[in-house]
Amino acid sequence: MLRHRSLRFRVAAAFAALGTVISLVFAVGIWIAAHNVSQRLIDETLTAELADYIARRARNPRSLPPDSASLRGYVAAAGDAAPAVPPALRRLAPGRHEVPIDGVPWRVVVADTANGDRHYVLFSEERQRRREQRFLGWLIGGTLLMTLLAAGGGYWLAGRVTAPVLERERAFAADASHELRTPLAVIRGAAEVLADDPTLDDAQLRRVARIERAAAGMSELTAALLLLAREQEAPVDEPCDCEQVARASVERHGALAHHRHHRLELVVEAAPKLDVAAAYFAIVVDNLVRNALGHAGDGDVVVRLQADRLVVSDEGGGIPAADLERVFERHYRGAASAGSGIGLSLVKRICDRQGWRIELAPGATGGTTATLVFAA
């Protein structure tokens, strides 16, 4: 359910982002187009008023320039030393200009006539700018509405599309878990029968006990992986004893280390207890130990348990820097890796769920050091 919800939110966020981008592009385009149209209409109006006034003044030199709330006109006659023109306009060359006068923005057209007179026609842009601001507010509101509609549509669509897929995934995980329980139960039962056989010597009994512990651990891991696939929290009956889990992991991998001629050592500096299912912590420790054994080369592997972290270090040839950046990607395998590319991605997934931090870095004296910090 958590994964379904998370996926739906991600899809909804993607739709919202797409809707926002599209809406912004359209809003900006519409606003620029509307602004350009209004400016062109103002310029055409000013040009027409200027031409009309010049024509009227040619017929009657006493004709007054336009003077209204939004439109004004001025004339600087040739040879007039003190024309009745605002100072902000006197230095303007013929053409179109934007000039603020007393805090009010004006659009100005300046033109000269053949007799040397200079004409000014001004249009107040104050109302036009207020209208543009209101229009911009409507565009912003439309963009926000489009974003909400896109997010809602994406959330609804994600639910319709992902629900069948996740349902099949949950069904597969449940079936796989159920089918694995049966052979594991058979193995544990056979181990219990062998443990009661009086003809077995101590070495054989130790091997049988190891089989029984491995089968029990596999049962716990299977249950934990099933919960992980369903995005459910594993029940925590009691705090996880990190030392006990680490010792069990080292013991399980002891035969593999011996076969590869490695020394696998556990150093316990503290014995923290975590409020987490022991099976989850066991998955992380087992994968880190297996990864270290796989890259140890001819060196040894040391598992160090501290109060706030678990450190697994090997003395091998190390992992290339390019691989270190991608080791937690699912199915990624480095050139020197013999694994399937799943173990470390599973470790990262569990760490993210539990709020832990996991890092792989070159060791101080060679090899690779994996550090699991319990508090991110």
Among 115, 134, 153, the domain boundary falls at 134
The answer as to whether 184 is a domain residue is: no
More confident position, 95 or 278:
95
pLDDT at 96: 92
Residue 112 pLDDT more than 60?
yes
Helix (H, G, I), strand (E, B) or coil at 341: coil
The count of structural domains within the chain is 2
pLDDT at 336: 55
In whole angstroms, how far apart are CA 323 and each of 3, 63, 299, 330, 341?
Answer: 28, 85, 20, 13, 12
More confident position, 81 or 358:
358
Q: CA angle, corner 138, sides to 134 and 140, nearest 5? A: 115
pLDDT of 314-337, one tens digit each?
Answer: 887 777 777 777 777 765 665 555
Report residue 156's pLDDT band, with 50, 70 and 90 as the boundaries. confident
Considering only 50-54, 158-162, 252-256, 272-276, which range has the smallest mean pLDDT? 158-162
pLDDT at 265: 92
Q: Averaged over 146-168, what is the pLDDT?
A: 78
Q: Report the amino acid identity of residue 36.
A: N
- Sequential DSSP letters for 8-65: HHHHHHHHHHHHHHHHHHHHHHHHHHHHHHHHHHHHHHHHHHHHHHHHHHHH-TTPPP
Helix (H, G, I), strand (E, B) or coil at 311: strand
Q: Are 263 and 301 in contact (CB under 8 A)?
A: yes
pLDDT at 337: 55
pLDDT at 324: 74
310 φ, ψ (degrees, to nearest 5): -125, 130
The answer as to whether 96 is a domain residue is: yes
- Tokens 């991605």 belong to which residue? 345
The answer as to whether 204 is a domain residue is: no
Residues 236 and 278: their CA atoms lie apart, in Å, by 8
The answer as to whether 183 is a domain residue is: no
Report residue 108's pLDDT band, with 50, 70 and 90 as the boundaries. very high
Long-range contacts of 253-258 (CB under 8 A, 24+ apart): 253/286, 253/289, 253/290, 253/293, 256/290, 256/293, 257/293, 257/301
62 φ, ψ (degrees, to nearest 5): -90, 5
Beta-bridged to residue 120, according to DSSP, are 74, 110
pLDDT at 165: 65
Report residue 221's pLDDT band, with 50, 70 and 90 as the boundaries. low
Residues 83 and 76: their CA atoms lie apart, in Å, by 5
Report residue 241's pLDDT band, with 50, 70 and 90 as the boundaries. very high
Q: Are 63 and 57 in contact (CB under 8 A)?
A: yes
Q: Averaged over 32-47, what is the pLDDT?
A: 90
- The one-character DSSP state at 198 is T
HSE value, Cβ hemisphere, 13 Å, CA-based, for 268:
11
The answer as to whether 165 is a domain residue is: no
pLDDT of 242-300, one tens digit each?
Answer: 999 999 889 888 877 887 888 899 999 999 999 888 888 888 898 899 888 887 877 88
pLDDT at 331: 59
- The one-character DSSP state at 297 is T
Report residue 222's pLDDT band, with 50, 70 and 90 as the boundaries. confident
Residues 52 and 75: their CA atoms lie apart, in Å, by 14
Domain that holds residue 311: 240-373
Q: Are strands 104-112 and 118-124 parallel, antiparallel or unpaired?
A: antiparallel
Among 134, 155, 186, the domain boundary falls at 134
204 φ, ψ (degrees, to nearest 5): -70, -35
- Enter the pTM of the model: 0.51
Mean of the per-residue pLDDT values for the chain?
A: 82
Helix (H, G, I), strand (E, B) or coil at 1: coil
Print burial letters for 178-196: b (CB count within 10 Å at least 16), e (below 16).
eebeeebeebbeebeebee
The answer as to whether 319 is a domain residue is: yes
pLDDT at 198: 85
Among 110, 134, 158, the domain boundary falls at 134
The answer as to whether 303 is a domain residue is: yes
**What is the CATH classification number for the domain harbouring 334?**
3.30.565.10
Report residue 310's pLDDT band, with 50, 70 and 90 as the boundaries. very high
pLDDT of 171-190, one tens digit each?
Answer: 666 666 666 766 777 787 88
